[in-house]
Chains A and B, each alone.
Chain A
Amino acid sequence: MMQRRTFLGGAAAVGALAGLGMLAGCTAAQRDPNQIRLWGVGGDSRPVEKKIIDAYGKVAPHVSVVNSTVPSNGTGDATSIITAVRGGTAPDLWYMDAFSCAQYASLGLLESITPLIEKYEDSTFLDQWLQFSTDSLSLNGQVYGLPMDTDTRVLYYNKRLLRAVGVDLDEFDPKNGPPTIERVLEISQKMTKKDGRGNYTRLGLIPWDGEAWAYTWSLGNQATFFDDSNCSIDLTAKPILDAYTFLYDQAREMDFGKVDAFKATYEPPNHPPAQTSFQGEQQGFLIAQPIVSSLEKYVPNLDYGYTYLPVAHKGDKPYTWSGGFSLVAPKGSSMTKEMWDFMKFYCGKPGQDIYMPAVHTVPTQRDVLKSTNPAIESLGLFVDQLKFSTSRPPFPVSQIWWDSMAQAQDSVKLGTKTPIEALETAQARVAPQMDLYCPFTLPKGFGGTGA
């Protein structure tokens, strides 16, 4: 009897192993040149992406696009792509945050598409996209991807709250140019309300909230973040220091702890997208990307407008910055003509014509920008100010640079470090990393803005 049990146990183990072998067997598929493997967009934009793929199916019926969602852990987290490239299982094309491009390219995670451009296209090929968007996908003279959507930052304001403190709304019409920081803060002060215990119940502009990074204010001070002449980053430069000093002073004046409590009350971390203090009319000003479609969805009755980011002096030129996504070819991608044609279709006019109106985001393809589609036209200022926009510098240390800047901002807000101390800490972290990649220059003409 004991033996029978042992035998049965052994048989079960052998059976299990055989089953596993079969599981393994069914996967070793050959690569079909007419099959393009794509790691595409996530979430609710997927149906729109499917329309692009379906449309391409009509243009090139012999090609099949296999689309998978491989969600990342978060922005700047390359776990899945690093492992996939090493294991030789990376897709042909990957939908990626353009901000990460220079860093991933310098690591060797991406294929340069410059040879494909040289082989199949003419010299003006890249001009069909906005310059900063292709710049952000360049490294050392090579191009690593094609741009898809983008955005710009604007100042949103709540019309009802502005009227209540006696502001003529005409003042915030974009045709009158950017408002000054001073004026926005002055109105903010009038809007501010506190309860009996001294807690804020309403605020105007919170100078570090939303997309109002110290980076954003630095841009307004005409900061450059990289010096091509000696391959260096100087985070303690005056325009940057001024921006951090501005935040430091504001945080002390407004009492950071109380503002933070206000924010956490009305817009707690990990809040549902519908629950923000701007949507709840507790906050009169907000610096953000295009959030128009979500405002329409959640608070259709909100009376709001938006204009250029506030500037230091009346008459200063508008400024803003853009992010966005792109299609890149990870190392090991097939790099075939079929793939290239699909990539052009996806990021070019046909793909952007399908994608942008549906997801209410800003195109990077110039013909699409000029389109008369009401959804594109309604983007108004977001598109108009593209000519003043730039992107974060495409250098190999982008992630650690951004994290260090954000960390310095945290210290300055809480007041645990003075602005110069905080920036020196950031500098000490970023500079040695950058040194590893020198010599290096940014794309020609980077930092110059213009659509």
Chain B
Amino acid sequence: MTLTTTTPQPRGPEDEAALDAPKREEVGRARDGSRQKWYSSAIARILMIGLSLLFLLPLYWMIASALKSGQELSHYPPTWFPQEFHWENFVNAVNAMPFWSFFRNTAVITVLSVIFSVVSNFIVAYGFACLEWKGRDRVFYIVLATLFIPFPVTLIPMFDLYANLGWVNTWLPLIVPNLFASAFFVFLLRQFLLQIPKDMLDAARLDAASEWAIAWRLVFPTALPALTAVGIFSAVGAWNDFMGPLIYLQDVNVQTLSIGLQAFRQTNQQDIQFNELMAASVLVIAPLIILFFVFQRYFLKGITLGGFK
């Protein structure tokens, strides 16, 4: 196919890593719009670091609280830095629930949810964006409308359905719906797939490629940044989901981390082990942070739109 032989055009500065240094610099200037003086880049960097620190505060606060002793938590005003490191809070947090079993359950649900959701949403979004058929945009409005269905009213009918299927206390109610696309992700992907020039698709069709092949071999790699967003959102959604596991998973063998965290917060006399709760929370979100750090680079691989020139 002609498409795979085109030379990728520079999409963003990071793609230039392989190219020689002077050119990299030039592209950087182009994106920022002007020649940068050393001090303007220093100021930008300081602003960036400041903004990042602001957004890191919640995590810092969680970690600091997780390391404090119960008595230190009663200090007024709160101490910004733990006086002593109580690493045992992390150990206690892990021991307070079947952490590793919950971890495994959550991981399985998340991985399957992400795969199903990326695949199904991509196929459907392709149908709404890359194929042209009569009534397409009207039908798409229905997709948008379904974004506005309030979740509490779906809880009971859906539970009735899954209970009749015998799916309570299994992961199926949390995983299977991902096979059927979701309005949010279809909408998201459609917005990006619509930006792919029709000419490119039509050219491939003239080459007698099947739609299925065009979808997976041409469009899928092109839409990688948006697909990464879908993957990240569905991973975070599945990992942190509380309401679903709450009503569908009643058996400790199948429960997830979010249930474990919530159970932590419910004690008699409101005497929450705050430091251990924070330690558990840090452990729960740590894999997500790592995951994001690893996968954010797919935003770098700008799509090779220019390639069809």
Number of interface residues of A (CB under 8 A): 56
Instruction: List B residues 186-228 near A (Cβ within 8 Å).
Output: 209-210, 212-213, 216
Residues of A within 8 Å of B164, CB to CB, are 87
Instruction: Closest A residue to B65 by CB, please name it.
Output: A272
Of A77-85, A168-176, A215-223, the one contacting chain B is: A77-85
Q: Which residues of A contact B165 (CB under 8 A)?
A: 24
Nearest chain-B residue to A359 (Cβ)? B268
CB of B124, distance to nearest CB on chain A (Å): 15
Interfacial chain A residues near B52, Cβ < 8 Å:
none
Interface residues in A1-37 (C-beta closer than 8 Å to B) = 2, 5-6, 16, 20, 23-24, 26-28
Question: Out of A41, A68, A87, A273, which one reaches B271, CB within 8 Å?
Answer: A273
- A289 contact set on B, CB distance < 8 A: 269
CB <8 Å contact, A2 and B268: no
Give chain B's interface residue range (CB within 8 Å of chain A).
Answer: 35 or more
Contact A43 B265 (CB under 8 A): yes
User: Residue on B with the closest CB to A6?
Assistant: B212
Complex interface: chain B residues within 8 A of A149 (CB): 268
B103 at the interface (CB under 8 A from A): no
Query: Do B247 and A84 touch (CB < 8 A)?
Result: yes
In chain B, residues 78-125, which have Cβ atoms closer than 8 Å to a Cβ of chain A? Answer: 78, 96, 112, 116
CB of B108, distance to nearest CB on chain A (Å): 9
Query: Would B71 and A274 count as touching, CB distance under 8 A?
Result: yes
Q: A27-B166, A42-B263 are in contact. Are A20 and B71 (CB under 8 A)?
A: no
Q: Report how far A191 CA is from B272 CA in the complex, Å.
A: 30
Contacts of A80 in B (CB 8 A): 246-247, 250
**Which of the residues A73, A89, A299 comes within 8 Å of B250, measured between beta carbons?**
A89
* CB atoms of A299 and B266 under 8 A apart: no
A71 touches B70 (CB 8 A): no
Closest residue to A299 on the B side, CB-wise? B74
Cβ-defined partner of A275 (8 Å) among B78, B162, B246, B255:
B78
Which B residues lie within 8 Å of A361 (CB)? 268-269
Which of A114-122, A125-133, A225-233, A290-298 lies at the interface with chain B? A290-298
Q: Judge whether B155 is part of the interface by a CB distance below 8 angstroms.
A: yes
List 3 A-B pairs, minimum CB-CB distance, nearest first: A87-B163, A43-B267, A274-B74
Known: A5-B213, A149-B268. 15 other contacts (CB 8 A): A2-B213, A24-B165, A43-B265, A44-B273, A45-B267, A46-B263, A68-B250, A71-B266, A73-B246, A80-B246, A83-B159, A87-B162, A275-B75, A297-B271, A298-B73
Binding site for B on A (CB under 8 A): 2, 5-6, 16, 20, 23-24, 26-28, 39, 41-46, 66-73, 79-80, 82-84, 86-89, 91, 149, 266, 272-275, 279-280, 282, 289-291, 293-294, 297-299, 325, 359-361
